[in-house]
Amino acid sequence: MMRMAQERMVFMSRKRRNHSPQFKARLALEALKEERSVSEIAQDHNLNPNLVRRWRDELLEKADTVFDTPKQIKEQKRREEVLEAERDELLKAVGSATVERDWLRRIYKDINGGQEPPRIGQI
């Protein structure tokens, strides 16, 4: 019982490590070479193998953007911002329509003695 408490304290006191992008790229490339297993690479650096796999997969996923020009990166970011703004606007409209629907349903119930309004297709 005492040992579990000590192990828990050791685990809780461990600080989260931040790894540089260069370090992540180096290990991800090493994992891509497949000269050594991901587990071996992780063990050499005292890391969880899943972390190295995630870095490897992220490198593969984003490899096509490595040679993008700053102009292309800026344009992509602008498109993402436009899409985000459109999404926010649509969410706001859906929220407003939901509030209006609930208000109309409440009014209908008040007028018709608590009876639920008919569903579309039941009219």
Task: Please count the other Cβ atoms lying within 10 Å of the Cβ belonging to residue 109.
Answer: 13
Q: What is the pLDDT of residue 33?
A: 95
Cβ-in-10-Å burial (0-12, 13-18, 19+) of 34 comes to exposed
- Pairwise CA distance, residues 117 & 81, whole Å: 40
Q: What is the pLDDT of residue 66?
A: 84
53 within 8 A of 47, measured Cβ to Cβ: no
Q: Where are the domains of the chain?
A: 20-67, 69-123
Mean pLDDT per 10-residue section of the chain, whose length is 123 residues: 53 76 95 95 95 96 88 92 97 96 94 89 64
